[in-house]
Structure 1
Amino acid sequence: MLTDELKDRIRDTYTALMDSKQLTPRWGQRQMIAEIANTLGRIPGPGEGPAKEPAVCVIEAGTGTGKTIAYAVTAIPMAQALGKRLVVATATIALQEQFIYKDLPDIQHHSGLDFTYALAKGRRRYICLSKLDRLLAEGQGETGMLALYPDEVGAASAAEATPVYHGMIDALGRGQWDGDRDNWPDAIAEEVWYPVTTDHAQCTGRRCPNISQCSFFKARDELQNADIIVTNHDLTLADLALGGGAILSPPEDSIYIFDEGHHLPDKALSHFSSFCRLHTTAAWLQDSKKALAQGAAFLGSLDSLERLLQKLPADMDETINSLQTAEQLVAQLFEDVDPAGSRDEPQVRFEHGVVPDKLLSLSASLSSQFQTLAGSLGRMEAVLEDALDDDFSGLDKSEIETWHINLGGMLGRAEAALSLWEAYAAGGERATPPIARWITMLTGGGQYGFDLRCSPVLAEDILQENLWKHAAGVIITSATITALNSFERFILHSGSPREANYKQVVSPFDYANAVFSVPPLDCEPGDAQAHTEAIIDCLPDLLNPSEGALVLFSSRRQMLDVYEGVAGSMADRLLMQGDYSKQEILRRHRERIDQGSGSVIFGLASFAEGVDLPGDYCRHVVIAKIPFAVPDSPLEAALAEWFESQGKNPFMEISVPDAALRLVQASGRLLRTETDTGRVTLLDKRVMTKRYGQAILDSLPPFTLELGKA
């Protein structure tokens, strides 16, 4: 429904914004505006029939295009005209906060658009007043509440936590804090925060006595009338997994914009994967059984719970015994695995996702047992919900609420374990596309035992079922979506409709002002020791002592070895990932450059994207080698196995496109503004000697190339 009137409104809005901010209109922005408008024009207006084509647009817009302005001035008026909610999902909290606190107010001020907006976060970002009240009332002693994730987050000492909790309740009472963790003035340790937050399973919702003051529900209520909801990929996918409309607006009433959208397939996989840690799950069941025994007198006074309380301990014991049997069976699978292999933690991956017969049979039993537990816990929770609604029961509402929280937590965890065992019980034959199933032996960080995991290797079916099929419209945008100048990789991993609009928008930066060089090293990364020694030899001469530089590694081991090898001559200007937080490394780096000194950051993949070091902060990016994926990743291995079974070459069809995309992302750390200049150096001559090398070079921005020059 793209009327002439709407076209004029979008054009006038863009012109007003450019004029007010005294900016020059960019060709790339105009291209994006046209593509987004034409795509959303596919959405039927009131009274029109179903859409003939999917209102999905995938736009790769190079750095400096001004994506935010382009999609905002187009999607906001179109969503309003169509009566849809605009959901803008970013990949990181930093981008989310920039959009809602800087970009949207700026666009609203300069464009003449009239709109409202609100920020959406998950429950765990907010304080749970019920839990906070209990902890303070009991002086952090016995509160009757089970820990939310005792095997993931340790317990804080009373001396550490109690002053923070008193400060929180005081700030809430004075109206100086809204209960949002991100708005608390100081950093909060995980072990202090977790006891006073909650998740969907433990929240009593509108039945909670603190509902009128609940930070999460106050924030969620603000979403109901907002034209634009700003959130992140994780919360958007969590909402879609619940069927949509649980936290955000329903998909059919929403136009989604996924900024940094190249992350979407991986985010989807992580949301729809499952896992079960054998030892800690058994320990959790033991703790739950003890807690239920202690609460039996109170719980038994509620209608119909006595029989369930009598049955649950035996069901839990049966499940614990099965988990212990599974642990013995899994241990046998690791008898032939070298504990001193290439991985820090040994791993067994099942070929084609097919689970061995003995474990398959046991998985079916455990699936049935967790189904029984989840059913019993769900019925108990429902009885407690009814008791919370009954004002004439004569029972202690605080006690009921405590047990509702505990049983909700038990139910959530039982359902999570059920998901894993159902996935393993279904693993008797190959699936298309494949399901990866693997087990990791936990050996470090205070963890031990076995961690079972299951995940699809492609998000195609997940996103088709939860997003593409139901959303009114979807815009995916990022500076890096294509691989080898093709959208095929994104289509494979995301399942985005082939009838969608796909568009590449070239960056306005002049890449001819920057050099991409590959010096003539006499070794390749395949010889890891020789390659590391070559980097140690050449790096001090490559880097200008007075400049800002970023050196990116694919291997932590190589990064540490190179750091040790060059520290003697460069120690005063080196900052290495792991020594400080990412934010602190960037702060120290900028401070050194501001003082006129040189500074060099050694980083891994997390520094290869999302790092913004314009101008003098980064004049040289050094990339140790072509960033091929870690070869022992279970998902990568399962996908490669599937391609091989179809007679395809997984290296050329998966590994090379993936590496090309990562190399473009890493190279993108150099030019961050239109006036930036500098150099990217790749210390990997395979880009010149291997048959895939030219395709990778062709996928890079149009740098000035210096190949094989000393």
Structure 2
Amino acid sequence: MLSDAIKDSIREAYSAIVESRSLTPRWGQRQMIAEIANALGRIPGPGAVGSDLPPVCVIEAGTGTGKTIAYSVSAIPVAQARDKRLVVATATVALQEQFVNKDLPDILSSSGMNFTYALAKGRRRYVCLSKLDRHIAEGQGASSVIPLYPDEVGAPATAEALPVYEGMLDALGRGQWDGDRDNWPESIAEPVWYGVTTDHSQCSGRRCSHINQCSFFRARDALQNADIIVTNHDLVLSDLALGGGAILPPPEESIYIFDEGHHLPDKALSHFASFCRLHSTIAWLEDSSKSLLNAAPALSGLIGVKALLKTLPAEMSDTSAALEVAEQTLTVLFDEAAPESGSEEQQVRLERGRVPEDLVIVALAVAGHLRKLESGLSRLESVLEEAIDDDHAGLDKADIETWHINIGGMLSRAEGALALWQDYAVSGEDENPPRARWITLLTGTGQGGFEMRCSPVLASDILQEYLWSRAGGVVVTSATMTALNSFDRFMLHSGAPPDAIYKVVSSPFNYDQAVFAVPAMDCDPGDAAAHTRALIEQLPEILEEEEGSLVLFSSRRQMHEVYEGLGSELDGRVLMQGDYSKQELLRRHRAAVDAGRGSVIFGLASFAEGVDLPGDYCRHVVIAKIPFAVPDSPLEAALAEWVEDQGRNPFMEISVPDAALRLVQASGRLLRTEEDSGRITLMDRRILTRRYGRAILDSLPPFRRQLG
């Protein structure tokens, strides 16, 4: 329970913010403060004994609630009193930057609270001085540092990269740059940046000779004394996957706040999925084998290395041969499955995640070779780590560091491939829920060959193991945590404990200022061609000439067909996703509206969430159809099979709640401030004619309705 002193500090901080900013206290915001404070109050104080499970609080707080102030004011005093670190994770870089550059400084100056904060980013956001130094020293020659995934990010042209690298080194030396990519004054091509950054597998850590000037470790050291650490979902999940405490504080010492928390389950799935591209992995093994042979002159003087440099190339050759056998097995599998052709990618999904016996046998063989390779690389990495620490190793330290980087990269890639092949080396019959497994034949990307993937279909077990059971406390919040007026969807996908606090707090918006309309139509999206024709006919009639409007499509193909079909009907007012970058498209739209001209954005799912067009920038949101998920998603299909096998209805349990959530998000593009008004038009009569449609309609905010 919270002490009176903590309760008083929360009340005083909130009152101070309201008074200093001349804000009007919002009931929903006060509700949110109370719920979070009560939940986190269950965390035992230093030295005290509390409940076995950490407190979890899941709150839906609509746009305009002021949730940033709410969770800051309630969580900061509790974290300080309970001797915990507050880790605030956002879903996007933009939200992260806003929180650390604007929101927290404002709260610090106006609340009367005393706290420190720091921004946490992963290694890949910082330059690696060791790699930068080597690239510049080697100049026009071939780099001695082997790229981790050269097949995915091509090597930059030396003429392009070297001037940038020299500029970086000069700026670092003058103290004009801190090594953070986001603070470099110019854009950096991905291959150029990739060449001078690293991840945990290639980082020598405290053994590196550049450690005292390392941008990443300087930034990480700044986290040690911060009360609040601001980061993103990806970094939190990466840290948890490494066991916790690798970059961020250990989970047991942390209170996590996940803003835009409805993304958390999907983010977790992506971090714990595995994949392997056979063709590029075989090429990588061949290149790595040659590199190890080149390492012999530099490293053979180290005890234990000479034998490894002989056996590892042989293991790589054996692994490559096993992968070639696997390719033959996959070719037969594709021939038998006869996947649909005519597209750049052909795909075979293993129903219910079941792996055919022939493929299990092959996968066991490949995994066995990869396990031996991983073991040998791990031993070699350990030897090199010891040699870096040993000033009397008798070898050039720069050479040892270079090869430590290279071997670390090889080990990481071997571990990644091993994870995939272990996932295929089982029948999958006893998995509950099953894992989704699918294989893609890449034919039009310049890569070629097979790509194999495996992913859990639900993040529940993952988050239970790494987050819910370990954290000091967790708060998850978003404007869209519920679907069909229930938290069941989030609980299913995330595994959030049923005894957590779940709360929907009221929004300050007056939804009477917006109309939700479903116009009369003689077709629905079930007849795709007729529905597209209807959109082409009706859009010019419903889009006002001088308004800012947003038209959202679920299908890229339909978006292009409508755009082409309209021709000059909308007088060149349409800005279509894909013609420009997202930021440039939004800039052009705002400029047109500011100039008094109408502008219409045609966008897909990425414009249905996270796009902020207040006031005149968006007076009308048109949604082409109820946003059901793409039917050919392997993850969606595997989850649907599992639900169906249990005698349940996957359409009603999975598809409908997902669509309802997406429709709420899309509708949320209209009202962005308390003064906003306008219209939402759904061009899909199924919301009126189907039983599930009524359930979706009733889950929307209480807009005024015009149902034709």
**TM-score band, normalised by shorter chain:** over 0.9
Q: 1:524-559 CA distances to partner (integer Å, 9 max, x unpaired)? A: 111111111110111111101101011101111001
Alpha-carbon distance, 1:572 to partner: 2.0
Which piece of structure 1 moves more, 599-608 or 444-453?
444-453
Residue 404 to residue 582, structure 1, CA distance change in 2 (3 Å): same
**TM-score of the aligned structures, taking structure 2 as reference length:** 0.99
Q: 2:541 — aligned with what? A: 541
What is the CA–CA distance in structure 2 between the aligned matches of 1:644 and 1:140, rounded to whole Å? 60
Which piece of structure 1 moves more, 270-279 or 433-442?
433-442
1:148–1:194 Cα contact (<8 Å) kept: no
Matches within 5 A, 1:294-373: 294-337=294-337, 340-341=340-341, 344-373=344-373
Which piece of structure 1 moves more, 85-94 or 363-372?
363-372
What is the CA–CA distance in structure 2 between the aligned matches of 1:33 and 1:340, rounded to whole Å? 53
Q: 1:58 — aligned with what? A: 58
Q: 1:653-675 CA distances to partner (integer Å, 9 max, x unpaired)? A: 10000000000000000000000
Deviating beyond 3 angstroms after TM superposition, the runs of 4 or more aligned structure 1 residues are 336-344
Q: 2:242 — aligned with what? A: 242
Alpha-carbon distance, 1:445 to partner: 2.6
Which piece of structure 1 moves more, 156-165 or 27-36?
156-165
Secondary structure class of the residue paired with 2:656: helix
Secondary structure class of the residue paired with 1:448: coil
**TM-score of the aligned structures, taking structure 1 as reference length:** 0.98
State the AA in 2 paired with 1:90: T
Residue 338 to residue 554, structure 1, CA distance change in 2 (3 Å): farther
Secondary structure class of the residue paired with 1:132: helix
Q: 1:278-322 CA distances to partner (integer Å, 9 max, x unpaired)? A: 000010000000111111222222111111111112211111011
Residue 9 to residue 343, structure 1, CA distance change in 2 (3 Å): farther
1:656–1:692 Cα contact (<8 Å) kept: yes
Residue 330 to residue 571, structure 1, CA distance change in 2 (3 Å): farther
What is the CA–CA distance in structure 1 between the aligned matches of 2:105 and 2:54, rounded to whole Å? 31
Matches within 5 A, 1:64-213: 64-213=64-213
Alpha-carbon distance, 1:148 to partner: 2.1
What is the CA–CA distance in structure 1 between the aligned matches of 2:612 and 2:640, rounded to whole Å? 33
2:628–2:655 Cα contact (<8 Å) kept: yes
Secondary structure class of the residue paired with 1:295: helix
State the AA in 2 paired with 1:608: A
Matches within 5 A, 1:113-512: 113-337=113-337, 340-341=340-341, 344-512=344-512
Q: 1:3 — aligned with what? A: 3
Q: 1:595 — aligned with what? A: 595
Alpha-carbon distance, 1:128 to partner: 0.4
Secondary structure class of the residue paired with 1:149: coil
Secondary structure class of the residue paired with 1:570: coil
Residue 449 to residue 113, structure 1, CA distance change in 2 (3 Å): same
Q: 1:49 — aligned with what? A: 49
Alpha-carbon distance, 1:679 to partner: 0.4
Which piece of structure 1 moves more, 188-197 or 301-310?
301-310
Secondary structure class of the residue paired with 1:612: coil
Q: 2:12 — aligned with what? A: 12
Matches within 5 A, 1:508-519: 508-519=508-519
Q: 1:572 — aligned with what? A: 572
What is the CA–CA distance in structure 2 between the aligned matches of 1:42 and 1:53, rounded to whole Å? 10
Q: 1:209-260 CA distances to partner (integer Å, 9 max, x unpaired)? A: 1100000000000000000000000000000111111100011110000000
Secondary structure class of the residue paired with 1:146: coil
Q: 1:663 — aligned with what? A: 663
State the AA in 1 paired with 2:598: G
1:274–1:453 Cα contact (<8 Å) kept: yes
Structure 1 residue 674 and structure 2 residue 690: aligned? Answer: no
State the AA in 1 paired with 2:68: T
Secondary structure class of the residue paired with 1:346: strand
Please report the RMSD computed on the Cα atoms of aligned residues, expressed in angstroms.
1.1
Alpha-carbon distance, 1:367 to partner: 1.0
2:87–2:231 Cα contact (<8 Å) kept: yes
Secondary structure class of the residue paired with 1:551: strand
Alpha-carbon distance, 1:523 to partner: 0.9
What is the CA–CA distance in structure 2 between the aligned matches of 1:681 and 1:544, rounded to whole Å? 13
Q: 1:463-491 CA distances to partner (integer Å, 9 max, x unpaired)? A: 00000000010000000010000000000
Secondary structure class of the residue paired with 1:198: coil
2:460–2:492 Cα contact (<8 Å) kept: yes
Residue 471 to residue 340, structure 1, CA distance change in 2 (3 Å): same
Which piece of structure 1 moves more, 149-158 or 47-56?
47-56
Alpha-carbon distance, 1:423 to partner: 1.0
State the AA in 2 paired with 1:401: E
- Gap runs ≥5 in structure 2: none
Residue 531 to residue 337, structure 1, CA distance change in 2 (3 Å): farther
Identity over aligned residues, as a percent? 69
Alpha-carbon distance, 1:337 to partner: 4.9
Secondary structure class of the residue paired with 1:568: coil
Q: 1:386-416 CA distances to partner (integer Å, 9 max, x unpaired)? A: 1111111221011111100100000000000
Alpha-carbon distance, 1:570 to partner: 2.0
What is the CA–CA distance in structure 1 between the aligned matches of 2:447 and 2:287, rounded to whole Å? 18
What is the CA–CA distance in structure 2 between the aligned matches of 1:92 and 1:13, rounded to whole Å? 27
What is the CA–CA distance in structure 2 between the aligned matches of 1:304 and 1:245, rounded to whole Å? 32
Alpha-carbon distance, 1:447 to partner: 2.4
State the AA in 2 paired with 1:394: G
Q: 1:132-169 CA distances to partner (integer Å, 9 max, x unpaired)? A: 11111111422211112111111221222122111111
Q: 1:2-51 CA distances to partner (integer Å, 9 max, x unpaired)? A: 01111111001100010000101100010000000000011011232232
What is the CA–CA distance in structure 2 between the aligned matches of 1:272 and 1:153, rounded to whole Å? 22
Alpha-carbon distance, 1:365 to partner: 1.1
State the AA in 1 paired with 2:523: C
State the AA in 1 paired with 2:531: H
What is the CA–CA distance in structure 1 between the aligned matches of 2:533 and 2:296, rounded to whole Å? 66
Residue 339 to residue 454, structure 1, CA distance change in 2 (3 Å): closer
Secondary structure class of the residue paired with 1:638: helix
Secondary structure class of the residue paired with 2:569: helix
1:347–1:439 Cα contact (<8 Å) kept: yes
2:298–2:395 Cα contact (<8 Å) kept: no
Equivalences, count: 708
What is the CA–CA distance in structure 1 between the aligned matches of 2:364 and 2:675, rounded to whole Å? 62
1:515–1:678 Cα contact (<8 Å) kept: yes
Residue 571 to residue 362, structure 1, CA distance change in 2 (3 Å): farther
1:552–1:605 Cα contact (<8 Å) kept: yes
Q: 1:413-469 CA distances to partner (integer Å, 9 max, x unpaired)? A: 000001111111123424101111110111223221111000100000000000000
